[in-house]
A and B are shown apart, each in its own frame.
Chain A
Amino acid sequence: MAQFLQQMVNGLSIGSVYALMAVGYSLVYSIMNFSNFAHGGVIMFGAYFGFFAMTQLKLPFPAAFAVAFVGTAVLAVVIERIAYKPLRERNAPFLYFIISAMGASIFLENIIIATIGPTFRTYPDVFGRTSISLGSVAIGRLDLIMFVISAVCLAGLVLFIEKTKIGRAIQASAYNMKAAALMGVNTDRVVMIVFALGGMLAGIAGVFFGMKYTVYPQIGNITTKSFVAAVFGGLGSLPGAVLGSVLLGIIETLVAGYLSSQFRDLIAFVILIGVLVFRPTGIMGKTTEDKA
Protein backbone atom coordinates (compact mmCIF):
# COMPACT_ATOMS: atom_id res chain seq x y z
CA MET A 1 0.00 0.00 0.00
CA ALA A 2 2.74 2.40 0.97
CA GLN A 3 4.53 1.58 -2.26
CA PHE A 4 1.35 2.20 -4.19
CA LEU A 5 0.88 5.60 -2.59
CA GLN A 6 4.49 6.41 -3.28
CA GLN A 7 4.02 5.58 -6.95
CA MET A 8 0.88 7.68 -7.09
CA VAL A 9 2.73 10.67 -5.69
CA ASN A 10 5.60 10.28 -8.13
CA GLY A 11 3.17 9.79 -10.98
CA LEU A 12 1.24 12.89 -10.04
CA SER A 13 4.40 14.93 -10.07
CA ILE A 14 5.61 13.82 -13.49
CA GLY A 15 2.04 13.93 -14.78
CA SER A 16 1.77 17.58 -13.82
CA VAL A 17 4.82 18.39 -15.93
CA TYR A 18 3.31 16.42 -18.82
CA ALA A 19 0.27 18.60 -18.32
CA LEU A 20 2.35 21.73 -18.90
CA MET A 21 3.44 20.38 -22.25
CA ALA A 22 0.09 18.98 -23.22
CA VAL A 23 -1.79 22.14 -22.35
CA GLY A 24 0.60 24.26 -24.42
CA TYR A 25 0.20 21.91 -27.31
CA SER A 26 -3.60 21.70 -26.98
CA LEU A 27 -3.92 25.45 -26.70
CA VAL A 28 -2.24 25.87 -30.05
CA TYR A 29 -4.20 22.96 -31.50
CA SER A 30 -7.50 24.45 -30.38
CA ILE A 31 -6.78 27.72 -32.16
CA MET A 32 -4.86 26.60 -35.23
CA ASN A 33 -6.31 23.10 -35.70
CA PHE A 34 -2.97 21.52 -36.36
CA SER A 35 -0.43 19.68 -34.23
CA ASN A 36 2.52 21.90 -33.56
CA PHE A 37 5.25 19.33 -33.85
CA ALA A 38 7.84 21.99 -33.11
CA HIS A 39 6.62 22.07 -29.51
CA GLY A 40 9.28 19.52 -28.54
CA GLY A 41 12.02 21.75 -29.89
CA VAL A 42 10.77 24.62 -27.76
CA ILE A 43 10.77 22.40 -24.68
CA MET A 44 14.34 21.38 -25.42
CA PHE A 45 15.40 25.02 -25.75
CA GLY A 46 13.75 25.71 -22.40
CA ALA A 47 15.90 23.02 -20.84
CA TYR A 48 19.06 24.53 -22.37
CA PHE A 49 18.13 28.12 -21.52
CA GLY A 50 17.66 27.18 -17.89
CA PHE A 51 20.81 25.12 -17.86
CA PHE A 52 23.06 27.81 -19.30
CA ALA A 53 21.46 30.54 -17.24
CA MET A 54 22.47 28.60 -14.16
CA THR A 55 25.86 27.28 -15.22
CA GLN A 56 27.22 30.07 -17.43
CA LEU A 57 25.44 33.14 -16.13
CA LYS A 58 25.51 31.76 -12.59
CA LEU A 59 21.95 32.93 -12.03
CA PRO A 60 20.05 31.65 -9.04
CA PHE A 61 17.33 29.12 -9.84
CA PRO A 62 14.32 31.48 -9.89
CA ALA A 63 16.07 33.88 -12.27
CA ALA A 64 17.24 31.04 -14.52
CA PHE A 65 13.74 29.70 -14.50
CA ALA A 66 12.43 33.08 -15.67
CA VAL A 67 15.09 33.31 -18.37
CA ALA A 68 13.99 29.90 -19.62
CA PHE A 69 10.31 30.58 -19.90
CA VAL A 70 10.65 34.10 -21.27
CA GLY A 71 13.15 32.76 -23.77
CA THR A 72 10.85 29.98 -24.95
CA ALA A 73 7.85 32.29 -25.13
CA VAL A 74 9.84 34.51 -27.49
CA LEU A 75 11.13 31.50 -29.40
CA ALA A 76 7.63 30.07 -29.90
CA VAL A 77 6.36 33.40 -31.20
CA VAL A 78 9.32 33.75 -33.55
CA ILE A 79 8.68 30.25 -34.92
CA GLU A 80 5.06 31.14 -35.48
CA ARG A 81 5.96 34.34 -37.29
CA ILE A 82 8.47 32.64 -39.56
CA ALA A 83 7.06 29.18 -40.14
CA TYR A 84 3.28 29.47 -39.81
CA LYS A 85 2.16 33.04 -40.31
CA PRO A 86 2.83 33.12 -44.05
CA LEU A 87 0.83 29.91 -44.38
CA ARG A 88 -1.97 31.30 -42.26
CA GLU A 89 -2.15 34.37 -44.42
CA ARG A 90 -2.71 32.48 -47.61
CA ASN A 91 -5.03 29.89 -46.07
CA ALA A 92 -2.68 27.03 -46.84
CA PRO A 93 -3.81 23.44 -46.28
CA PHE A 94 -3.10 21.94 -42.86
CA LEU A 95 -0.62 19.56 -44.37
CA TYR A 96 1.69 22.50 -45.05
CA PHE A 97 1.52 23.62 -41.42
CA ILE A 98 2.45 20.18 -40.21
CA ILE A 99 5.35 19.96 -42.63
CA SER A 100 6.55 23.42 -41.70
CA ALA A 101 6.35 22.43 -38.04
CA MET A 102 8.42 19.38 -38.78
CA GLY A 103 11.00 21.58 -40.49
CA ALA A 104 11.14 23.84 -37.45
CA SER A 105 11.52 20.84 -35.19
CA ILE A 106 14.40 19.41 -37.23
CA PHE A 107 16.07 22.81 -37.29
CA LEU A 108 15.82 23.35 -33.53
CA GLU A 109 17.17 19.95 -32.62
CA ASN A 110 20.04 20.03 -35.07
CA ILE A 111 21.15 23.58 -34.50
CA ILE A 112 21.82 22.50 -30.92
CA ILE A 113 23.67 19.38 -32.04
CA ALA A 114 25.73 21.42 -34.50
CA THR A 115 26.64 24.22 -32.11
CA ILE A 116 26.56 22.89 -28.58
CA GLY A 117 26.97 19.23 -29.36
CA PRO A 118 25.05 16.08 -28.63
CA THR A 119 26.36 15.51 -25.11
CA PHE A 120 24.15 14.97 -22.10
CA ARG A 121 24.42 17.65 -19.47
CA THR A 122 23.38 17.49 -15.86
CA TYR A 123 21.68 20.38 -14.11
CA PRO A 124 23.29 21.72 -10.97
CA ASP A 125 21.65 20.11 -7.99
CA VAL A 126 19.50 22.91 -6.61
CA PHE A 127 17.05 21.06 -4.48
CA GLY A 128 19.24 18.31 -3.22
CA ARG A 129 18.23 14.71 -3.21
CA THR A 130 16.58 14.92 0.18
CA SER A 131 12.93 14.17 0.51
CA ILE A 132 10.11 15.08 2.76
CA SER A 133 8.35 12.24 4.53
CA LEU A 134 4.63 12.17 4.90
CA GLY A 135 3.90 9.08 6.93
CA SER A 136 5.23 6.23 4.86
CA VAL A 137 5.47 8.27 1.67
CA ALA A 138 8.59 10.19 0.79
CA ILE A 139 8.26 13.09 -1.60
CA GLY A 140 11.38 14.30 -3.35
CA ARG A 141 11.90 18.04 -3.04
CA LEU A 142 12.17 18.36 -6.81
CA ASP A 143 8.98 16.35 -7.31
CA LEU A 144 7.12 18.52 -4.87
CA ILE A 145 8.35 21.74 -6.42
CA MET A 146 7.54 20.49 -9.92
CA PHE A 147 4.05 19.65 -8.85
CA VAL A 148 3.40 22.93 -7.05
CA ILE A 149 4.79 25.16 -9.78
CA SER A 150 2.97 23.23 -12.50
CA ALA A 151 -0.30 23.44 -10.61
CA VAL A 152 0.16 27.17 -10.05
CA CYS A 153 0.94 27.74 -13.73
CA LEU A 154 -2.09 25.80 -14.86
CA ALA A 155 -4.34 27.61 -12.41
CA GLY A 156 -2.90 30.91 -13.63
CA LEU A 157 -3.63 29.91 -17.20
CA VAL A 158 -7.22 29.04 -16.36
CA LEU A 159 -7.68 32.41 -14.66
CA PHE A 160 -6.12 34.17 -17.61
CA ILE A 161 -8.38 32.44 -20.11
CA GLU A 162 -11.54 32.79 -18.05
CA LYS A 163 -11.15 36.26 -16.60
CA THR A 164 -9.30 38.47 -19.04
CA LYS A 165 -10.53 40.02 -22.23
CA ILE A 166 -7.74 38.42 -24.21
CA GLY A 167 -8.62 35.10 -22.63
CA ARG A 168 -12.18 35.39 -23.85
CA ALA A 169 -10.90 36.32 -27.31
CA ILE A 170 -8.86 33.12 -27.23
CA GLN A 171 -11.96 31.13 -26.33
CA ALA A 172 -13.94 32.71 -29.13
CA SER A 173 -11.16 32.02 -31.63
CA ALA A 174 -10.92 28.42 -30.50
CA TYR A 175 -14.62 28.04 -31.13
CA ASN A 176 -14.51 29.62 -34.55
CA MET A 177 -11.59 31.68 -35.78
CA LYS A 178 -13.38 33.25 -38.75
CA ALA A 179 -16.44 34.23 -36.73
CA ALA A 180 -14.20 35.68 -34.03
CA ALA A 181 -12.42 37.76 -36.65
CA LEU A 182 -15.75 39.05 -37.89
CA MET A 183 -16.70 40.00 -34.34
CA GLY A 184 -13.66 42.23 -34.19
CA VAL A 185 -11.20 39.93 -32.46
CA ASN A 186 -7.64 40.57 -33.60
CA THR A 187 -6.93 36.94 -34.41
CA ASP A 188 -3.34 37.58 -35.33
CA ARG A 189 -2.72 38.83 -31.82
CA VAL A 190 -4.62 35.91 -30.36
CA VAL A 191 -2.38 33.51 -32.24
CA MET A 192 0.70 35.33 -31.00
CA ILE A 193 -0.45 35.22 -27.40
CA VAL A 194 -1.39 31.58 -27.63
CA PHE A 195 2.06 30.72 -28.94
CA ALA A 196 3.67 32.83 -26.21
CA LEU A 197 1.65 31.04 -23.53
CA GLY A 198 2.34 27.63 -25.04
CA GLY A 199 6.02 28.52 -25.29
CA MET A 200 6.14 29.63 -21.67
CA LEU A 201 4.62 26.39 -20.44
CA ALA A 202 7.00 24.49 -22.69
CA GLY A 203 9.97 26.33 -21.22
CA ILE A 204 8.92 25.50 -17.69
CA ALA A 205 8.39 21.86 -18.63
CA GLY A 206 11.79 21.86 -20.31
CA VAL A 207 13.58 23.06 -17.19
CA PHE A 208 11.84 20.42 -15.10
CA PHE A 209 12.64 17.62 -17.52
CA GLY A 210 16.22 18.82 -17.62
CA MET A 211 16.42 18.73 -13.83
CA LYS A 212 14.67 15.41 -13.47
CA TYR A 213 16.53 13.64 -16.27
CA THR A 214 19.37 15.42 -18.09
CA VAL A 215 19.63 17.94 -20.90
CA TYR A 216 20.26 16.65 -24.41
CA PRO A 217 19.17 17.60 -27.92
CA GLN A 218 16.53 14.89 -28.24
CA ILE A 219 14.83 15.67 -24.96
CA GLY A 220 12.04 17.28 -26.98
CA ASN A 221 10.95 13.82 -28.11
CA ILE A 222 9.20 13.58 -24.81
CA THR A 223 6.43 15.69 -26.33
CA THR A 224 5.14 12.54 -28.01
CA LYS A 225 3.74 11.89 -24.57
CA SER A 226 1.90 15.15 -24.57
CA PHE A 227 0.27 14.21 -27.88
CA VAL A 228 -0.79 10.92 -26.36
CA ALA A 229 -2.02 12.69 -23.24
CA ALA A 230 -3.96 15.18 -25.33
CA VAL A 231 -5.65 12.43 -27.33
CA PHE A 232 -6.28 10.49 -24.13
CA GLY A 233 -7.99 13.47 -22.53
CA GLY A 234 -9.75 14.62 -25.72
CA LEU A 235 -7.90 16.39 -28.52
CA GLY A 236 -8.32 20.16 -28.29
CA SER A 237 -9.74 20.17 -24.75
CA LEU A 238 -7.57 21.88 -22.12
CA PRO A 239 -9.08 20.17 -19.04
CA GLY A 240 -8.79 16.95 -21.03
CA ALA A 241 -5.11 17.58 -21.64
CA VAL A 242 -4.50 18.05 -17.93
CA LEU A 243 -6.48 14.98 -16.96
CA GLY A 244 -4.88 12.86 -19.69
CA SER A 245 -1.40 13.98 -18.64
CA VAL A 246 -1.88 13.29 -14.97
CA LEU A 247 -3.38 9.88 -15.68
CA LEU A 248 -0.58 9.08 -18.10
CA GLY A 249 2.01 10.11 -15.51
CA ILE A 250 0.44 7.91 -12.86
CA ILE A 251 -0.05 4.91 -15.13
CA GLU A 252 3.53 5.15 -16.36
CA THR A 253 4.91 5.25 -12.87
CA LEU A 254 2.76 2.33 -11.78
CA VAL A 255 3.82 0.29 -14.79
CA ALA A 256 7.46 1.09 -14.17
CA GLY A 257 7.07 0.20 -10.51
CA TYR A 258 5.08 -3.01 -10.78
CA LEU A 259 5.89 -4.44 -14.20
CA SER A 260 9.14 -3.29 -15.70
CA SER A 261 10.66 0.05 -16.42
CA GLN A 262 11.14 -1.06 -20.01
CA PHE A 263 7.40 -0.95 -20.53
CA ARG A 264 7.23 2.56 -19.15
CA ASP A 265 7.54 4.27 -22.51
CA LEU A 266 5.55 1.65 -24.32
CA ILE A 267 2.47 2.06 -22.16
CA ALA A 268 1.84 5.52 -23.59
CA PHE A 269 1.41 3.97 -27.03
CA VAL A 270 -0.73 1.16 -25.72
CA ILE A 271 -3.02 3.82 -24.26
CA LEU A 272 -2.92 5.76 -27.53
CA ILE A 273 -4.02 2.72 -29.51
CA GLY A 274 -6.68 1.81 -26.97
CA VAL A 275 -8.15 5.31 -27.04
CA LEU A 276 -8.09 5.53 -30.82
CA VAL A 277 -9.85 2.21 -31.20
CA PHE A 278 -12.40 2.46 -28.43
CA ARG A 279 -12.98 6.11 -27.70
CA PRO A 280 -11.27 8.42 -30.16
CA THR A 281 -12.85 11.50 -28.63
CA GLY A 282 -10.92 10.77 -25.44
CA ILE A 283 -12.19 11.26 -21.93
CA MET A 284 -13.52 14.80 -22.24
CA GLY A 285 -13.61 15.39 -25.99
CA LYS A 286 -16.79 15.96 -27.89
CA THR A 287 -17.51 15.59 -31.57
CA THR A 288 -18.30 18.70 -33.52
CA GLU A 289 -19.51 19.10 -37.05
CA ASP A 290 -17.40 21.20 -39.31
CA LYS A 291 -19.20 24.01 -40.94
CA ALA A 292 -19.78 23.10 -44.55
Chain B
Amino acid sequence: MSSYLEGIIMLSGINLIAVLGLSLLTGFAGLFSFGHAGFMAIGAYSAAICTTIFKLPFFVGIAAAAAAAAGASWLIGRATLRLKGDYFCIATLGFGEAIRLILDNFQGLGGARGWPGIPPHTTLVNILILDVIGVVLLANLVRSRHGRNMIAVREEELAAQVAGINTFKYKMLALVVSAAYAGVAGALLGHYMTFIQPKMFSMVKSTELTIIVIFGGLGSISGSVLGAVVLTFLPELLRAVDKWRLVVYGLAVIGIMIGRPRGLMGGFELTPKSVRAHFARLREAKAARADQAAEEKGGL
Protein backbone atom coordinates (compact mmCIF):
# COMPACT_ATOMS: atom_id res chain seq x y z
CA MET B 1 0.00 0.00 0.00
CA SER B 2 1.37 3.43 -0.81
CA SER B 3 2.09 5.41 2.29
CA TYR B 4 -0.05 8.24 0.96
CA LEU B 5 -3.09 6.04 0.75
CA GLU B 6 -2.27 4.51 4.10
CA GLY B 7 -2.06 7.97 5.58
CA ILE B 8 -5.53 8.89 4.39
CA ILE B 9 -6.95 5.62 5.63
CA MET B 10 -5.41 6.25 9.02
CA LEU B 11 -6.77 9.78 9.13
CA SER B 12 -10.25 8.65 8.28
CA GLY B 13 -9.99 5.93 10.92
CA ILE B 14 -9.01 8.54 13.49
CA ASN B 15 -11.75 10.90 12.37
CA LEU B 16 -14.20 8.05 12.58
CA ILE B 17 -13.68 7.66 16.30
CA ALA B 18 -14.38 11.32 16.98
CA VAL B 19 -17.34 11.20 14.60
CA LEU B 20 -18.81 8.15 16.35
CA GLY B 21 -18.71 10.05 19.62
CA LEU B 22 -20.32 13.11 18.14
CA SER B 23 -22.88 10.93 16.42
CA LEU B 24 -23.99 9.64 19.80
CA LEU B 25 -24.33 13.15 21.16
CA THR B 26 -25.98 14.86 18.20
CA GLY B 27 -27.60 12.02 16.30
CA PHE B 28 -28.93 10.03 19.21
CA ALA B 29 -29.23 12.41 22.15
CA GLY B 30 -30.01 15.51 20.06
CA LEU B 31 -27.40 17.82 21.57
CA PHE B 32 -25.27 20.08 19.44
CA SER B 33 -21.63 20.70 20.28
CA PHE B 34 -19.18 23.24 18.92
CA GLY B 35 -16.48 22.01 21.25
CA HIS B 36 -15.50 18.52 20.21
CA ALA B 37 -12.18 19.68 18.86
CA GLY B 38 -11.55 20.90 22.39
CA PHE B 39 -12.12 17.40 23.74
CA MET B 40 -9.77 16.08 21.08
CA ALA B 41 -7.19 18.62 22.17
CA ILE B 42 -7.49 17.52 25.77
CA GLY B 43 -7.08 13.92 24.65
CA ALA B 44 -4.11 14.69 22.44
CA TYR B 45 -2.23 16.64 25.09
CA SER B 46 -3.06 14.23 27.94
CA ALA B 47 -1.89 11.26 25.94
CA ALA B 48 1.24 13.08 24.86
CA ILE B 49 2.01 13.97 28.45
CA CYS B 50 1.69 10.32 29.43
CA THR B 51 3.86 8.91 26.67
CA THR B 52 6.40 11.69 26.24
CA ILE B 53 6.94 13.04 29.73
CA PHE B 54 6.10 10.02 31.87
CA LYS B 55 7.18 7.46 29.27
CA LEU B 56 4.06 5.40 29.90
CA PRO B 57 2.79 2.87 27.35
CA PHE B 58 0.49 4.11 24.60
CA PHE B 59 -2.61 2.36 25.87
CA VAL B 60 -2.26 4.17 29.19
CA GLY B 61 -2.05 7.43 27.24
CA ILE B 62 -5.21 6.54 25.36
CA ALA B 63 -7.04 5.69 28.55
CA ALA B 64 -5.87 8.94 30.12
CA ALA B 65 -7.04 10.83 27.04
CA ALA B 66 -10.50 9.31 27.28
CA ALA B 67 -10.70 9.99 31.00
CA ALA B 68 -9.48 13.58 30.78
CA ALA B 69 -11.86 14.48 27.96
CA ALA B 70 -14.73 12.76 29.74
CA GLY B 71 -13.92 14.63 32.95
CA ALA B 72 -13.87 17.99 31.19
CA SER B 73 -17.16 17.25 29.49
CA TRP B 74 -18.68 16.24 32.80
CA LEU B 75 -17.90 19.68 34.21
CA ILE B 76 -19.51 21.41 31.24
CA GLY B 77 -22.51 19.14 31.42
CA ARG B 78 -22.97 19.73 35.09
CA ALA B 79 -23.09 23.47 34.58
CA THR B 80 -25.33 23.52 31.53
CA LEU B 81 -27.34 20.38 30.85
CA ARG B 82 -30.03 21.24 33.36
CA LEU B 83 -30.64 24.64 31.78
CA LYS B 84 -33.25 25.24 29.13
CA GLY B 85 -32.16 27.01 25.99
CA ASP B 86 -28.90 27.13 24.11
CA TYR B 87 -26.63 27.28 27.13
CA PHE B 88 -25.01 23.95 26.39
CA CYS B 89 -24.27 24.93 22.83
CA ILE B 90 -22.77 28.26 23.81
CA ALA B 91 -20.79 26.65 26.59
CA THR B 92 -19.23 24.08 24.25
CA LEU B 93 -18.34 26.88 21.87
CA GLY B 94 -16.72 28.84 24.67
CA PHE B 95 -15.00 25.72 25.94
CA GLY B 96 -13.49 24.84 22.57
CA GLU B 97 -12.10 28.33 22.10
CA ALA B 98 -10.91 28.57 25.70
CA ILE B 99 -8.97 25.29 25.52
CA ARG B 100 -7.23 26.51 22.40
CA LEU B 101 -6.38 29.87 23.95
CA ILE B 102 -5.09 28.25 27.13
CA LEU B 103 -2.89 25.84 25.20
CA ASP B 104 -1.70 28.71 23.01
CA ASN B 105 -0.48 30.51 26.08
CA PHE B 106 0.87 27.57 28.01
CA GLN B 107 4.53 27.47 27.09
CA GLY B 108 5.16 24.31 29.13
CA LEU B 109 3.43 22.28 26.44
CA GLY B 110 4.87 24.13 23.50
CA GLY B 111 2.40 27.01 23.39
CA ALA B 112 1.12 28.21 20.05
CA ARG B 113 4.20 26.90 18.25
CA GLY B 114 3.22 23.36 19.06
CA TRP B 115 4.75 20.31 20.60
CA PRO B 116 7.00 18.17 18.40
CA GLY B 117 8.64 14.85 19.13
CA ILE B 118 5.65 12.78 20.17
CA PRO B 119 6.41 9.10 19.62
CA PRO B 120 4.77 7.65 16.48
CA HIS B 121 2.77 5.02 18.33
CA THR B 122 -0.34 5.24 16.17
CA THR B 123 -0.45 2.49 13.57
CA LEU B 124 -3.03 1.37 11.07
CA VAL B 125 -3.59 -1.72 13.17
CA ASN B 126 -4.32 0.00 16.44
CA ILE B 127 -6.56 2.49 14.65
CA LEU B 128 -8.58 -0.29 13.05
CA ILE B 129 -8.85 -2.17 16.34
CA LEU B 130 -10.11 0.93 18.11
CA ASP B 131 -12.51 1.66 15.24
CA VAL B 132 -14.05 -1.76 15.57
CA ILE B 133 -14.28 -1.50 19.34
CA GLY B 134 -15.77 1.97 18.97
CA VAL B 135 -18.46 0.85 16.53
CA VAL B 136 -19.37 -2.24 18.53
CA LEU B 137 -19.63 -0.46 21.86
CA LEU B 138 -21.66 2.34 20.35
CA ALA B 139 -23.99 -0.04 18.55
CA ASN B 140 -24.50 -1.96 21.77
CA LEU B 141 -25.14 1.22 23.69
CA VAL B 142 -27.76 2.69 21.38
CA ARG B 143 -29.64 -0.58 21.26
CA SER B 144 -29.99 -0.85 25.02
CA ARG B 145 -32.34 0.84 27.44
CA HIS B 146 -29.64 3.45 28.03
CA GLY B 147 -29.49 4.27 24.35
CA ARG B 148 -33.26 4.26 23.97
CA ASN B 149 -33.53 6.69 26.84
CA MET B 150 -31.13 9.04 25.07
CA ILE B 151 -33.17 8.80 21.90
CA ALA B 152 -36.32 9.53 23.89
CA VAL B 153 -34.68 12.69 25.21
CA ARG B 154 -33.95 13.75 21.66
CA GLU B 155 -37.46 12.96 20.46
CA GLU B 156 -39.53 14.59 23.17
CA GLU B 157 -37.87 15.67 26.35
CA LEU B 158 -40.94 16.28 28.46
CA ALA B 159 -42.54 12.98 27.53
CA ALA B 160 -39.26 11.25 28.31
CA GLN B 161 -39.27 12.82 31.74
CA VAL B 162 -42.75 11.78 32.68
CA ALA B 163 -41.87 8.33 31.38
CA GLY B 164 -39.42 8.20 34.25
CA ILE B 165 -36.28 9.03 32.29
CA ASN B 166 -33.81 11.24 34.11
CA THR B 167 -33.10 13.41 31.12
CA PHE B 168 -30.19 15.17 32.76
CA LYS B 169 -28.48 11.88 33.51
CA TYR B 170 -28.86 10.54 30.00
CA LYS B 171 -27.73 13.74 28.33
CA MET B 172 -24.73 13.63 30.60
CA LEU B 173 -24.05 10.01 29.75
CA ALA B 174 -24.19 10.79 26.04
CA LEU B 175 -21.90 13.77 26.51
CA VAL B 176 -19.32 11.96 28.61
CA VAL B 177 -19.13 8.94 26.30
CA SER B 178 -18.97 11.24 23.33
CA ALA B 179 -16.14 13.28 24.81
CA ALA B 180 -14.24 10.11 25.69
CA TYR B 181 -14.38 9.05 22.03
CA ALA B 182 -13.10 12.48 21.01
CA GLY B 183 -10.31 12.18 23.57
CA VAL B 184 -9.20 8.85 22.11
CA ALA B 185 -9.28 10.32 18.61
CA GLY B 186 -7.11 13.20 19.83
CA ALA B 187 -4.61 10.77 21.36
CA LEU B 188 -4.38 8.82 18.11
CA LEU B 189 -4.02 11.97 16.05
CA GLY B 190 -1.18 13.30 18.20
CA HIS B 191 0.74 10.03 17.99
CA TYR B 192 0.11 9.80 14.28
CA MET B 193 1.31 13.31 13.44
CA THR B 194 4.03 13.16 16.14
CA PHE B 195 3.33 16.84 16.55
CA ILE B 196 0.45 18.69 18.12
CA GLN B 197 -0.46 22.33 18.00
CA PRO B 198 -3.50 24.13 19.48
CA LYS B 199 -4.41 25.37 15.99
CA MET B 200 -5.19 21.79 14.93
CA PHE B 201 -8.14 21.80 17.32
CA SER B 202 -9.92 24.96 16.29
CA MET B 203 -13.61 25.42 15.80
CA VAL B 204 -13.18 24.49 12.14
CA LYS B 205 -12.28 20.98 13.29
CA SER B 206 -15.38 20.77 15.49
CA THR B 207 -17.48 21.97 12.60
CA GLU B 208 -16.01 19.40 10.23
CA LEU B 209 -16.84 16.60 12.65
CA THR B 210 -20.40 17.84 12.90
CA ILE B 211 -20.69 18.07 9.13
CA ILE B 212 -19.61 14.46 8.82
CA VAL B 213 -22.24 13.36 11.32
CA ILE B 214 -24.92 15.30 9.46
CA PHE B 215 -23.91 13.96 6.07
CA GLY B 216 -23.89 10.45 7.37
CA GLY B 217 -27.27 10.91 8.95
CA LEU B 218 -28.43 11.74 12.45
CA GLY B 219 -29.12 8.60 14.39
CA SER B 220 -27.23 6.19 12.15
CA ILE B 221 -23.93 4.58 13.09
CA SER B 222 -23.34 3.13 9.65
CA GLY B 223 -24.03 6.59 8.26
CA SER B 224 -21.32 8.03 10.48
CA VAL B 225 -18.85 5.38 9.32
CA LEU B 226 -19.68 6.08 5.71
CA GLY B 227 -19.53 9.83 6.30
CA ALA B 228 -16.15 9.67 8.02
CA VAL B 229 -14.60 7.62 5.23
CA VAL B 230 -16.13 9.53 2.32
CA LEU B 231 -15.58 13.00 3.73
CA THR B 232 -11.97 12.29 4.65
CA PHE B 233 -11.18 10.88 1.21
CA LEU B 234 -13.13 13.35 -0.85
CA PRO B 235 -11.11 16.45 0.05
CA GLU B 236 -7.92 14.52 -0.69
CA LEU B 237 -9.19 13.63 -4.13
CA LEU B 238 -10.53 17.11 -4.76
CA ARG B 239 -7.44 19.05 -3.76
CA ALA B 240 -7.85 21.27 -6.81
CA VAL B 241 -11.21 22.63 -5.74
CA ASP B 242 -10.30 22.72 -2.08
CA LYS B 243 -11.18 26.40 -1.87
CA TRP B 244 -14.77 25.64 -2.72
CA ARG B 245 -15.09 22.55 -0.56
CA LEU B 246 -16.38 24.30 2.53
CA VAL B 247 -18.61 26.57 0.47
CA VAL B 248 -20.29 23.49 -0.90
CA TYR B 249 -20.39 21.84 2.53
CA GLY B 250 -22.10 24.87 4.01
CA LEU B 251 -24.78 24.86 1.34
CA ALA B 252 -25.17 21.11 1.56
CA VAL B 253 -25.70 21.25 5.32
CA ILE B 254 -28.53 23.73 4.86
CA GLY B 255 -29.89 21.65 2.01
CA ILE B 256 -29.87 18.50 4.13
CA MET B 257 -31.65 20.21 7.01
CA ILE B 258 -34.32 21.51 4.67
CA GLY B 259 -34.71 18.55 2.39
CA ARG B 260 -33.48 15.42 4.10
CA PRO B 261 -32.83 16.33 7.72
CA ARG B 262 -31.82 12.86 8.73
CA GLY B 263 -28.93 12.85 6.30
CA LEU B 264 -27.71 10.14 3.99
CA MET B 265 -28.66 7.21 6.18
CA GLY B 266 -30.75 8.89 8.88
CA GLY B 267 -32.34 6.38 11.21
CA PHE B 268 -31.39 3.52 8.88
CA GLU B 269 -28.66 1.09 9.83
CA LEU B 270 -26.77 -0.90 7.29
CA THR B 271 -26.82 -4.43 8.69
CA PRO B 272 -27.36 -7.68 6.81
CA LYS B 273 -30.78 -7.93 8.40
CA SER B 274 -31.87 -4.40 7.50
CA VAL B 275 -30.68 -4.84 3.92
CA ARG B 276 -32.67 -8.06 3.54
CA ALA B 277 -35.70 -6.36 5.07
CA HIS B 278 -35.31 -3.44 2.69
CA PHE B 279 -35.25 -5.69 -0.35
CA ALA B 280 -38.17 -7.67 0.98
CA ARG B 281 -40.15 -4.43 1.24
CA LEU B 282 -39.18 -3.49 -2.29
CA ARG B 283 -40.31 -6.89 -3.59
CA GLU B 284 -43.56 -6.57 -1.68
CA ALA B 285 -44.18 -3.13 -3.08
CA LYS B 286 -43.48 -4.42 -6.58
CA ALA B 287 -45.80 -7.35 -6.06
CA ALA B 288 -48.46 -5.02 -4.73
CA ARG B 289 -48.13 -2.80 -7.76
CA ALA B 290 -48.37 -5.80 -10.04
CA ASP B 291 -51.49 -6.98 -8.19
CA GLN B 292 -53.02 -3.58 -8.47
CA ALA B 293 -52.25 -3.37 -12.16
CA ALA B 294 -53.77 -6.80 -12.69
CA GLU B 295 -56.85 -5.78 -10.76
CA GLU B 296 -57.27 -2.60 -12.72
CA LYS B 297 -57.00 -4.54 -15.95
CA GLY B 298 -59.50 -7.06 -14.66
CA GLY B 299 -61.90 -4.29 -13.76
CA LEU B 300 -61.99 -2.85 -17.23
Contacts and interface: CB of A to CB of B under 8 A. Distances in A.
Q: Do A and B bind each other?
A: yes
A269 B102 CA distance: 11
A71 B186 CA distance: 41
A286 B286 CA distance: 58
B257 A99 contact: yes
Interface in A179-220: none
Contacts of A106: 207, 211, 246, 249-250, 253
B94 A99 contact: no
Contacts of A110: 243-247, 249-250
A95 B102 contact: no
B101 to A, nearest CB: 5
A105 interface: yes
B90 interface: yes
Contacts of A145: none
B79 A280 contact: yes
B32 A95 contact: yes
A273 B75 CA distance: 10
Interface string B6-39: 0000000000000000000010001110100000
Main secondary structure of the interface of B (DSSP, over half): helix
B85 interface: yes
Nearest to B86: A35
B258 to A, nearest CB: 5
B203 A221 contact: yes
B257 A103 contact: yes
Nearest to A94: B86
B134 to A, nearest CB: 23
Nearest to B210: A102
B32 to A, nearest CB: 5
Given A272-B90, A292-B158, A266 B102 contact: yes
Interface of A: 29, 33-35, 37, 82-83, 86-87, 92-93, 95-96, 98-100, 102-111, 113-114, 221, 224, 227-228, 231, 235-236, 262-263, 265-266, 268-270, 272-273, 276-277, 280, 290, 292
Given A110-B249, A266-B105, A273-B79, 4 more contacts: A87-B258, A96-B261, A110-B243, A277-B79
Interface of B: 26, 30-32, 34, 79-80, 83-87, 89-91, 93-95, 97-98, 101-102, 104-105, 154, 158, 203, 207, 210-211, 214, 243-247, 249-254, 257-258, 261
The 10 closest A-B pairs by CB, nearest first: A107-B250, A103-B253, A106-B250, A269-B98, A110-B246, A103-B254, A100-B257, A35-B86, A276-B79, A272-B94
